[in-house]
Structure 1
Amino acid sequence: MGEAPAATTLTREELYELVWTEPMQTLAARFGISDVALKKRCVRMRIPTPHRGYWAKKAVGKSPKRPVLPKLPASVRAADLTAVFTGAPKPPDSAEDEAEATGPVADQERFEALPENHITVPEVLADPHPVVATAVHLLRKSRTDAQHLLVPAGKKILDLSVSIGTADRAMGIYNALISALAARGWSLTVESVTEQERTFYRTMVTVRDERIPIAIEERIERTERQPDPRAKYPTYGKQWDYHTTGKLSLYMTLPYLTTRVRSRWSDGARHRLEDHLNDFIVGLVAAAEAIKQKRLEDEAREREWEARRKRE
């Protein structure tokens, strides 16, 4: 039995140099993986990769621009600082791999990985978008509910569920996201929605002609309240105390889809939500593509059903 090939461990800087020294397909073959897998690893490590046509320009003596390796936030995971390649045999390319490497989601991943496209949330909110300015004004006048969350009831406001302590962060995230979407040719609006004779407001993002509801919420924890021995009357059932955590999530509300799509990004132990807005943008594109695919599948089934009904 032959020995397993030795693993290769590369720092983020070393991998960056390699992907700009030789084509991804050549490099991936040397590591025993597909170029799609190598691309995904670079995206995870926030390493910019050559765009289409880069090597063709190099071949004719041109000097296409090579982006610098962006700095990582201090909260990045240690696992994203190095890449380990085992040298196992490369699996054959598949049609699915090819689609992933060239489709809208892959294109967006490449775009979001470029340093100049990194989304930054300023510490202090300045020059807010009108819908953000309206939300700030309404939140300042809001009461809080039993879970200590702000309740601007009945108002046309961005979809969010946060406490006083996280309201400023949520507004900064929304403001940065609105600017980023506009720069990419997409939009965010606050719209009235009526369901079951009840009207409320929903934050809608339009990406690649698909409309996706999004929201920001703070995680709330609860602990069981101990009975007060001095209470005049007994209480029945469990009573709860609620506690804010300061942990935010940005999520999409998606319909049933036949393709699995990530829909939530959250604060973690070593990273903040603000660090992952570019990933969220990629997620929006993935969701838009999945929604479109599901609609086309439904329309095809409807046509098939209608044709079968006419034949009977």
Structure 2
Amino acid sequence: MKTVSREELYEQVWSKPMTKVAADYGVTGTALKKTCNRHRIPTPERGYWAKLEHGKRVQKQPLPPMAERHLAKVRIAGSSEQHLSPKVREAKEKARDKLDKLAAAHPTPTAAPDLMPSIVESPSLAATRRAISKARPDDQGFAAIRSKGIVPLKIAPASIERGIRVLSQLFALAESQGHLPKATENGMVLVVEKEPIVFGLEERPEKTLHQATPAELKRRDERMRWGYTTDPWPKYDPSPSGKLAIVIHANLYSGLRRTYSDGKTQTLERMLPDILAGFVAHAALISENRRENEERARRHRDAEAQRRSEEAFNSREKRRMEFVDAVHEQLDHRDKLTAVLTHLENTASDHEARVSAMATWIRQRLKQIDALISPPFLDISARSSKVDFAEPDPEKEAESSGSFGYSPPITLQLWSIDFEKQLATSCSPLEWANAVGLEVKKDPVG
């Protein structure tokens, strides 16, 4: 809540348009106008700023003196609109300024709705009129329609004519600003800045104290015998009031005004510029929310892609190290066998016969290890184990990041290579030894 003096607020509302002053306080222009009236602060008439901009003669009303001391200070409680983004508030202010300029250039007798110039009824409103005229009122006196291509209504038959006229004026004003109605499966929307805004027109019910009928009184007495103390009838009876409201069905809990209704002195006909500016604000908020959602989804996709990329990278690195460990294990075996063979070869010649078979086996084992870790066999074993030491194409990796392929165990294998067919077939150590002509003693059979 902000507190200013009458003099300060007076200077503010005469220094710039009411909507901009209201935005600074986080309230609507209508709310600020009521505050000024309550504190007897004169405000510029409608079209004042447009006339001033075009060099037309305007008159600034003086601030009258006031004896009531409690009205010398003005307390303004901001609404939830002040929490909206600057883009949304700016869109609403620009729309309101354009409508003010339009009103100044083409003044209409908005003070008397019946004197408004006749507007050609659009086909959509003609269909709405036919539908609501055929609708049967409920027990409260309201007829309701909601169907394809017509404006959703809940209204008493006596208010239909005025309701259609209000909608005609709203559509005409909207079309002057480039906003068009559009038929949908669920009704009629107003497309504002490429955003479809769902809305409807309703008649506010008037609540009167319910008068209990003899049957209801009898039922109450029966319930009281059973211990019930509440009355078995509603406290109020709703009935048509003749007060209409345009309700915007968008951006719930956003802080934007969603309901514009007749007041004690204000009518919907006179509020149409405010209402249309409200539509623009809702469209701006919808666009902003979509952009934020798209940006949030994009960040989520990027984070997910990064997570999958890191996961794939870590998996590749793990398998590469497992393959390298397998090669290193063979190198360790080779060093061990080489050390033993060197020891045997350095023994005295009179012991050579005792260890010749051992030395022969070690040499064969070394040949097998040399084959296992030879570049051709390592290349084939890596491809067979699906271990790729080359970094993949990022685009191809992104396409396949969601797939789950089988990863075979990592093993170093011996291979029989057919160079003509460019085919490699894995073979056992025995098969490989026989193929290369190593001396392998076979176990007797039978």
1:243 corresponds to 2:239 = yes
Letter in 2 for 1:144: P
1:219 to 204, 207, 214: 204
Distance 1:11 1:134, change over 3 A: farther
In the alignment, the residues of structure 1 paired with residue 195 and residue 88 of structure 2 have an alpha-carbon distance, to the nearest angstrom, of: 22
1:65 paired with 2:39, answer no
Looking at structure 1, the residues matched to 152 and 267 of structure 2 have their Cα atoms a distance apart, in angstroms, of: 20
Question: Which residue of structure 1 aligns with residue 49 of structure 2?
Answer: 49
* Maintained 8 Å contact 1:144/1:150: yes
Alpha-carbon distance between aligned partners in 1 of 2:182 and 2:49, rounded to the nearest angstrom: 33
Residue 94 (structure 2) aligns with: 107
- Name the structure 2 match of 1:127: 120
Amino acid aligned to 2:55: R
Please identify the structure whose Cα radius of gyration is greater. Answer: 2
Higher normalized strand content (fraction of residues)? 1
Instruction: Pick the structure with more helix per residue.
Output: 2
Q: Cα deviations across residues 226-253 of structure 1 (Å, max 9, x unaligned)?
A: 1424999889842574311111111210
Conserved 8 A contact 2:119-2:168: no
Partners of 1:242 and 1:175 in 2: CA distance: 28
Q: 1:167 to 1:143 in 2, by over 3 A?
A: same
1:252 matched residue in structure 2: 248
How far has the Cα of 1:48 moved from its partner? 3.6
The Cα shift of 1:37 comes to 4.6
Distance 1:179 1:41, change over 3 A: closer
Instruction: Return 302-311 or 226-235, whichever deviates more.
Output: 226-235
User: Which piece of structure 1 moves more, 293-302 or 122-131?
Assistant: 122-131
- Report the RMSD for the aligned CA atoms in angstroms: 4.5
- Say whether residues 1:157 and 2:168 are aligned partners: no
What secondary structure does 1:261 align onto?
Answer: coil
Identity %: 18
1:274 aligns with 2:272: no
Q: Corresponding residue for 2:183?
A: 190
Q: Does 1:228 align with 2:214?
A: yes
1:300 CA displacement:
1.3
The answer as to 2:166 corresponding to 1:177 is no
Structure-2 residue corresponding to 1:205: 190
The one-letter amino acid of 1:181's match is A
| Corresponding residue for residue 30 of structure 1 | none
Closer, same or farther: CA 101–254 of 1 in aligned 2, 3 Å = closer
One-letter identity of the residue aligned with 2:205: I
1:140 offset after TM fit, Å?
2.8
Residues 12-31 of structure 1 mapped to structure 2, 5 A cutoff: 15=14
- Counterparts of 1:133 and 1:253 in 2: how far apart (Å)? 23
Aligned to 2:173, the other structure's residue is in SS state helix
Distance 1:35 1:148 in 2: 39
3-state SS in 2 of match to 1:288: helix
User: How far apart in 1 are the matches of 2:247 and 2:146?
Assistant: 21
Shift of the 97–278 alpha-carbon distance from structure 1 to 2, 3 Å rule, reads same
Whole-angstrom distance in 1 between the partners of 2:57 and 2:260 = 27
Query: Is the Cα contact below 8 Å between 1:9 and 1:85 reproduced in 2?
Result: no
Distance 1:99 1:85, change over 3 A: farther
Separation in structure 1 between the aligned mates of residue 56 and residue 259 of structure 2, nearest angstrom: 29
State the Cα distance separating 1:126 from its structure 2 match.
Answer: 5.3
2:140 counterpart residue number: 147
Write the distance in 1 (CA, Å) between the matches of 2:123 and 2:246: 20
How many residue pairs align between the two structures?
Answer: 252
Instruction: Give CA deviations for 1:231-287 in whole Å, capped at 9, x if unaligned.
Output: 998898425743111111112101347x52111111111211111000011111111
- Counterpart Cα distance in 2 of 1:244 and 1:145: 11
Partner of 1:296: 291
Q: Is the 8 A contact 1:118 1:278 kept in 2?
A: no
The runs of 5 or more residues in structure 1 that have no matched partner are 26-32, 55-63, 71-83, 87-95, 194-201
Whether the aligned pair in 1 keeps the contact of 2:205 and 2:239 (CA below 8 Å) is yes
**Which sits farther off after the overlay, 175-184 or 112-121?**
112-121
What is the TM-score of this pair, normalised by structure 1? 0.64
Match of 1:285 in 2: 280
| Residue in 2 that maps onto 1:7 | 7
Misfit runs of 4+, over 6 Å: 33-36, 40-43, 230-236
Provide the residue aligned with 1:76 in structure 2: none
Query: Structure 1's 35 and 217: CA in aligned 2 closer, same or farther, altered over 3 A?
Result: closer
Specify whether residues 5 and 144 from structure 1 end up closer, same or farther in structure 2 by C-alpha distance, changes over 3 A only. Answer: closer
Equivalent-residue separation in structure 2 for 1:36 and 1:144 (angstroms): 41
Would the aligned equivalents of 2:181 and 2:190 in 1 still touch at CA under 8 Å?
yes
Q: How far apart are 1:50 and its partner, in Å?
A: 5.9
Q: Supply the AA of the counterpart residue of 1:214.
A: F
- Matched-pair contact (CA < 8 Å) for 2:199–2:248: yes
Contact kept in structure 2, 1:112 and 1:118, CA below 8 Å? no
In structure 2, the CA distance between the partners of 1:68 and 1:152, relative to structure 1 (3 Å rule), is farther
Q: 1:47 to 1:10 in 2, by over 3 A?
A: farther
In 1, Cα distance between equivalents of 2:72 and 2:29: 10
Runs of 5+ in structure 2 lacking a partner?
34-42, 60-70, 74-82, 224-231, 308-446
